[in-house]
């Protein structure tokens, strides 16, 4: 698949609606394969109002634009024309500090990195697990809150419904 932008990349574009041009900056949240439309469950808001439109004959991208400045503020989804997207060079990409889950007693406990889901003993600010690799390229604004991270992990981890051997079956 010919992907021009990586997930997490910062992009800029100008959108035209009702005669006005709006400059927007956001991050690539998902790659939409040619002939497909954005995930309806994940990006439901795109399907509201005028609707999402037809699938495209090329790879496209769902872009999230943060509304508000604080961490954990809401993100608005867009599905802009690929031709209008420009990569934003992030200057002073110094990355984030992470620290090792130090105690020997619990060092075997690995949590999944909140960005790439690789098991890691490293944490950012002790709120979310963040591996050293992702810490190099992650900005604070990209980090999920602890609540978001836990909710995502819960959604991605298969649940066990009851225990076998309790006479439920």
Shortest Cβ distance from residue 148 to Zn ion (Å)? 15
Percent of residues in the chain assigned helix, strand, coil, to nearest 5: 20, 25, 55
Q: Which residue, 44 or 118, is less far from Zn ion as judged by CB?
A: 118
Q: What does the alpha-carbon distance between residue 63 and residue 71 come to, in Å, rounded to a whole number?
A: 18
Shortest Cβ distance from residue 113 to Zn ion (Å)? 3
| DSSP H/E element including 124 | strand 122-124
Pairing of strands 111-112, 99-100: unpaired
Shortest Cβ distance from residue 119 to Zn ion (Å)? 10
Instruction: Based on the shown chain and the rule CB under 5 A, indicate whether residue 134 belongs to the binding site for Zn ion.
Output: yes
Shortest Cβ distance from residue 71 to Zn ion (Å)? 18
Shortest Cβ distance from residue 128 to Zn ion (Å)? 11
Options 11, 63, 85, 131; binder of Zn ion; rule CB under 5 A: 131
Options 44, 87, 90, 116; binder of Zn ion; rule CB under 5 A: 116
> Strand pairing partners for 86?
12
Q: Which stretch binds Zn ion (CB under 5 A): 1-9, 85-93, 107-115, 152-160?
A: 107-115
Q: What does the alpha-carbon distance between residue 20 and residue 157 come to, in Å, rounded to a whole number?
A: 44
Residue 162, Ramachandran bin (φ over 0: left; ψ between -120 and 50: alpha; else beta): left
Can you read off the two tokens belonging to residue 9? 């990349």
Q: Which residue, 11 or 115, is less far from Zn ion as judged by CB?
A: 115
Options 62, 63, 115, 143; binder of Zn ion; rule CB under 5 A: 115
Can you read off the two tokens belonging to residue 134? 């992702």
Chain contacts with Zn ion (rule: CB under 5 A): 113, 115-116, 118, 131, 134
């Amino acid at each position: 698949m010919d992907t021009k932008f990586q997930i997490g990349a910062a992009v800029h574009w100008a959108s035209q609606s009702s005669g006005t041009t709006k400059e927007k900056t956001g991050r690539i949240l998902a790659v939409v394969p040619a002939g497909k439309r954005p995930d309806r469950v994940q990006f439901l808001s795109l399907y509201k109002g005028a609707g999402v439109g037809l699938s495209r004959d090329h790879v496209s991208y769902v872009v999230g634009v943060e509304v508000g400045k604080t961490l954990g503020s809401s993100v608005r989804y867009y599905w802009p024309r690929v031709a209008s997207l420009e990569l934003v060079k992030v200057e002073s990409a110094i990355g984030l500090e992470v620290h090792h889950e130090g105690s020997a007693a619990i060092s075997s406990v690995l949590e999944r990195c909140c960005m790439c889901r690789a098991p890691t003993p490293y944490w950012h600010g002790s709120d979310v697990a963040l591996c050293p690799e992702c810490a190099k390229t992650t900005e604070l604004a990209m980090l999920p809150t602890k609540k978001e991270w836990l909710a995502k992990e819960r959604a991605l981890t298969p649940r066990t419904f009851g225990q076998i051997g309790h006479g439920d079956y």
